[in-house]
Structure 1
């Protein structure tokens, strides 16, 4: 039987090549429209009024001064806001119910649940007028008892229970007894602070009502969840809600959920009858959206004299808001990384009167790897063993906890390649043994690990008689180069030139795409594109046979003889029974594969630091990351994603810290002047190498690059600082005072 393929006009290899971004021109010239760039006639602007107490009932709101300000159109409070449906109870049987950032029914209640909760919204002709009016509003509260101090409340944490998709704890053997009898052991306590997202584009929503139909421009990471959430909250038919999110100016998890700003922009537009833009200030992002939870962790390791682990204990305490939040998988990598005979892992949760914590790049693994990798480094030091050698002696062939197969795991190769390129053998192992003038020099390593996911995705693929291909899918472009990657995947699957492929994305009117989270979007959409390409080829072959044409003819010839200008195929089902069946298939496939395989991207992080012996200043001076992320779709964008994760990890290690007043629950550094993120001078040259071998169990062999880059970064820096100074810093961030 003749195998059908679509001829290539210009032979070219596209998969893996460092192709320039297809949206590069519109972004660099300012033509790209983000959620706040859409102009409508009579566009009004909204500003929020935030609660100044952590828990209370509102007894009075004085809006007189705001109402009297020229240019103000409405002041909306719980007294006059339209009634909304409350957020649904989250359930894994209906994934869009996870969309709500909190369980609060904004402006439909007189209750305050955290310091920063929006209690009023002002709509005016300009943003300046709206913000001025918001500052004139006076709110009186009946304050209620509140718990806001993480450190003080830590003893009240309770063990997290296991669920279908989230493991709170687990064990193999008796790790407690094994630790006591170990030849060499370490038992360390670590802490990490609350952290917040600071994307270039703060959360912004432009909401427009056209009769009973709603259009929302929103910088979201999950168009479908946002659309369904808005339809539910405002009691609208799903077809009457459109969410457009063509470009997103960074997110890192912070725009996964629907937060107060989006809901209240829609409320403001409904009340005033005008299009409304609500752009959060930098401070507003901290007050109304959740960031990374703080944590305390215990890592205890026991080993025999040769360095073989006999015990691994990793426990954690993290924070959730009383009105919602996520249980971060802080100890998850300790289930997979090291071949200990006995393992005990357990997460604990603490509920406070705070904003619900949200997802932030590699939630759980980022901070959990810091503790585990620093403890491994300390154990290597006490064993007088090279840190890489210790890791390799404990590199498992199967998953240590349960014996599952690793679908793919290139850690040995990553460490071998990294050690050679980084010249690891040139270091002297003793702490404080390397110096350059007043600078103490140290090197450190750590392991990166992040699970791989695949979610449902729907696409349509249209082939025209002239050879052009149009792919439509409501996925997200947040700066990672998704549109470019899927152009390459399509060209690869159909064997057509890149310039013949066009992608439409970022709109709920398109076939439903997956959320941009969990480093899963590339694998998820790639699977749908490959399925669509296979279906298109099959249809063309059948069409050719029906019209007495050879299946080997060019598509133009096949379509012309069939009297067609194009042929289109669809993959997936967007609604009704088909969508429900798709969700059931997704859950069953996910659970079935979880029982058989551990799928994850991994890597080895190498860094060099210099520490000023007089001031304690830390400078990261050299970095190499070697990663196993499966198939590399675009070498340029993949390396950029991994570098971005490393830069974010440098911030977490050396500067980032959300400070909360232990009495009022108020974030006291809700700005970029006092919340310190890395700048250019803080970041060295970052070299990236990807092994490039596909995972045979994943679509196109892709494992994901967005999040694994941040994992292990803080641990590598802490280990390098210890090598440079002899000081083991166990509390992030690593600041001057901890090194003097």
Structure 2
């Protein structure tokens, strides 16, 4: 046995380390987009439209400009010239399409649209001055009620948005439903839900001496933001730097550059001074939101529970100027085995801003009716809902006719049910009661894709033994800093405290936007590759400059221990990294890697899966619902950090409870304006609404999805939760809830 085999390898992946950036955040040292400052900083405040459709007749800024300290009021009439071609940046934002171009012309598309930007020496002054800007409008008829235009809905255009059409029908689902021994055919709805991260959207734009810009922006992708700015403003690549080291929550709202960014850049270039524009909480309701949907699910089954037909049709909202589309119905064609499947998707145009991706876009809405309908089918069959799902378990992705790279959903069902105690569940509803509360148990399935995109990373070793790893990815609160540090430490067999990970800067190697749960898969694979290259290069240096002992041993026998390289236990079997680099004439050692998805992935369908089990208690007199216990069992490949990943799933469960019981964007359709655009009336859960959440990860090996075998967990946590809550409410009360949110007025209806 070689004596070096007794040296233990450091393992970082799979260890529940605390967040490496946690201290910066809790001490206030972390800088967000609105925290950066510069000499001569100017503050911008957005003036929002008060009509839902029409045109601007006039804008009178004289009263605002008369105030000392007010520097300028930017409108469509005096904004700088911008390129006209939408196609120049259609494919450079996420989701695809042509975002609203603020102050483009006199057209008003929706209530709350930005119509002016006031710039002043202080935020308070800018806000007051904005209230003095008088805008006269010519109103046009508007429509914000989707049910009024439901019959006008049309299939979305692939030219106006990033639409992924449903697969072609399989078999004859209509005939199969009609001839089924047992069938369910119902309509379901989900409301518009709004992004409300703790950090509101904002940016600080600092112009340089030669017209270059440094932009501190809340974004999920600095490269995406830079591409948007260079294209829209006709700037060269070296004229823009985008920086975003910390993001106070996003989950979709930061994928696309929002209107405050373009306004701030226009203002900074106009004034030739640094400008900060931050949105108010009310203005956070004037762009990114999850679109409302109306969906039909029809299921037909044999008497033994075997599915014979699945029909899932959905209509969701979009704006008048874009075709935004979530992938809502496709999941029904892959989650369960069925030979007759028809999926359809349409969009209805409203006078509202374009919707946006929101955590698990499409799946969060689409799995709600599908999983409630499966529960209704189990009720009609007098069958346990979990048994029904196992009977119809899909071994292949029928949409793509491909095998799964891995799918441990059976294990999720088994381990989640055991942890929850599902075997003790009464089959009939209204079977358990404590005091005034009926107690019900419900479950649902969750699914999301496991994706990988091209990404780059760099690793630099200094003489001090510290390795700095970097990539221009983002951390929206998901734990990217920590996960990448662990991946680097594992690849280098180093302790975490000797690794520094940098992100959120366009000067760093390119990375995709942080979204779709693909960051660990994409950026993590690049970090792993760059660090392994660095280690191999360091080993070669040791063989060349470490002396006779290092030159005589095999490469795999040379390992790093602390800040030294060793190949044994003798005096000549060790050399300091600083000494090695000095002998080689190097101040540092650097390697970079670019990783792309490999071709063998095309032969598989890749995804994450979950099983959610919920206990709900419903007060018979008050109609209030308490979700007192949740078990979420997740299969997501190799988990890099069980602590941060578990936090992600628990956060998704909270969001799912919020979706089920609280969130609802409510409009006054007469004036076409959302009325609950604040935290007082747009309800989200508080601590008292959340009780026991138990997250478990099942073992799942996957050597196809990426070199790490890791799948993302950002989205999967929320999928299926609302359906499980609905099913638990039915089990408690005997009443089906098909429209979100499930509020007490609907329970009593």
Scaled by the length of structure 1, the TM-score of the pair is 0.93
Partner of 1:159: 155
Distance in 2 of aligned mates of 1:171 and 1:517:
30
Q: Bigger shift: 315-324 or 636-645?
A: 315-324
Render the CA deviation track for 1:203-224: whole Å, top value 9, x for unaligned.
Answer: 0111111131101111101110
Partner of 1:685: 692
Partner of 2:562: none
Render the CA deviation track for 1:297-346: whole Å, top value 9, x for unaligned.
Answer: 01100000000000011110011112225310111211211111211111
Distance in 2 of aligned mates of 1:121 and 1:563:
55
Work out which of the residue numbers 89, 112, 115 in structure 2 matches 1:116.
112
Render the CA deviation track for 1:103-122: whole Å, top value 9, x for unaligned.
Answer: 43322311111111101000
TM superposition shift of 1:663: 3.1
Pairing of 1:291-690 with structure 2 (within 5 A)? 291-324=289-322, 326-544=324-542, 549-550=550-551, 551=555, 552-553=557-558, 554=565, 556=577, 558-572=580-594, 593-594=601-602, 596-690=603-697
TM superposition shift of 1:379: 0.3
Instruction: Quickly say closer, same or farther: Cα 1:86–1:116, change in 2 above 3 A.
Output: farther
User: Aligned pair 1:133/2:114, yes or no?
Assistant: no
User: Aligned pair 1:14/2:12, yes or no?
Assistant: yes
Q: Secondary structure at the match of 2:688?
A: helix
User: Aligned pair 1:143/2:151, yes or no?
Assistant: no
Distance in 1 of aligned mates of 2:538 and 2:92:
36
Instruction: Quickly say closer, same or farther: Cα 1:359–1:307, change in 2 above 3 A.
Output: same
Q: Bigger shift: 487-496 or 712-721?
A: 487-496
Pairing of 1:15-164 with structure 2 (within 5 A)? 15-86=13-84, 88-89=86-87, 95-98=91-94, 102-160=98-156
TM superposition shift of 1:88: 3.3
Distance in 2 of aligned mates of 1:504 and 1:10:
28
Distance in 2 of aligned mates of 1:223 and 1:619:
40
Distance in 2 of aligned mates of 1:389 and 1:644:
28
Work out which of the residue numbers 718, 726, 730 in structure 1 matches 2:726.
718
Q: Retained in 2: the 8 A contact 1:101–1:257?
A: no
Q: Bigger shift: 289-298 or 127-136?
A: 127-136
Q: Secondary structure at the match of 2:25?
A: helix
Q: Retained in 1: the 8 A contact 2:202–2:279?
A: yes
Distance in 1 of aligned mates of 2:583 and 2:70:
64
Distance in 2 of aligned mates of 1:134 and 1:732:
37
Instruction: Quickly say closer, same or farther: Cα 1:629–1:165, change in 2 above 3 A.
Output: farther
Partner of 1:276: 275
TM superposition shift of 1:675: 0.4
Alignment RMSD, CA only?
Answer: 2.2
TM superposition shift of 1:272: 2.1
TM superposition shift of 1:86: 4.2
TM superposition shift of 1:35: 0.7
Distance in 2 of aligned mates of 1:100 and 1:231:
17
TM superposition shift of 1:560: 4.3
Distance in 2 of aligned mates of 1:449 and 1:736:
29
TM superposition shift of 1:44: 1.6
User: Aligned pair 1:252/2:251, yes or no?
Assistant: yes
TM superposition shift of 1:396: 1.5
Distance in 2 of aligned mates of 1:432 and 1:262:
53
Equivalenced residues, count: 719
Q: Secondary structure at the match of 2:589?
A: strand
Q: Secondary structure at the match of 1:19?
A: coil
Distance in 2 of aligned mates of 1:729 and 1:98:
33
Distance in 2 of aligned mates of 1:327 and 1:103:
14
Distance in 1 of aligned mates of 2:18 and 2:617:
35
Q: Secondary structure at the match of 1:274?
A: coil
TM superposition shift of 1:140: 1.2
Distance in 1 of aligned mates of 2:146 and 2:63:
38
Instruction: Quickly say closer, same or farther: Cα 1:523–1:296, change in 2 above 3 A.
Output: same
Partner of 1:218: 217
Distance in 1 of aligned mates of 2:97 and 2:682:
22
Q: Retained in 1: the 8 A contact 2:367–2:719?
A: yes
Instruction: Quickly say closer, same or farther: Cα 1:151–1:87, change in 2 above 3 A.
Output: farther
Q: Bigger shift: 153-162 or 672-681?
A: 153-162
Q: Bigger shift: 516-525 or 693-702?
A: 693-702
Distance in 1 of aligned mates of 2:16 and 2:448:
24
TM superposition shift of 1:351: 2.1
TM superposition shift of 1:378: 0.3
Distance in 1 of aligned mates of 2:661 and 2:196:
16
Distance in 2 of aligned mates of 1:357 and 1:101:
11
Partner of 1:578: none
Q: Retained in 2: the 8 A contact 1:102–1:356?
A: no
Render the CA deviation track for 1:22-68: whole Å, top value 9, x for unaligned.
Answer: 11111111111111111222212111111111221211111122111
Q: Retained in 1: the 8 A contact 2:192–2:289?
A: yes
Q: Retained in 1: the 8 A contact 2:372–2:723?
A: yes
Instruction: Quickly say closer, same or farther: Cα 1:350–1:140, change in 2 above 3 A.
Output: same
Distance in 2 of aligned mates of 1:532 and 1:402:
33
User: Aligned pair 1:730/2:738, yes or no?
Assistant: yes
User: Aligned pair 1:709/2:717, yes or no?
Assistant: yes
Q: Bigger shift: 105-114 or 14-23?
A: 105-114
Distance in 1 of aligned mates of 2:87 and 2:320:
14
Unmatched segments (≥5 aa) in structure 2: 559-564, 566-575
Render the CA deviation track for 1:469-504: whole Å, top value 9, x for unaligned.
Answer: 110111111111111111100111111111111111
Q: Retained in 1: the 8 A contact 2:460–2:590?
A: yes
Q: Retained in 2: the 8 A contact 1:89–1:97?
A: no
Distance in 1 of aligned mates of 2:445 and 2:220:
28
TM superposition shift of 1:198: 0.6
Instruction: Quickly say closer, same or farther: Cα 1:357–1:87, change in 2 above 3 A.
Output: farther
Q: Retained in 1: the 8 A contact 2:34–2:203?
A: yes
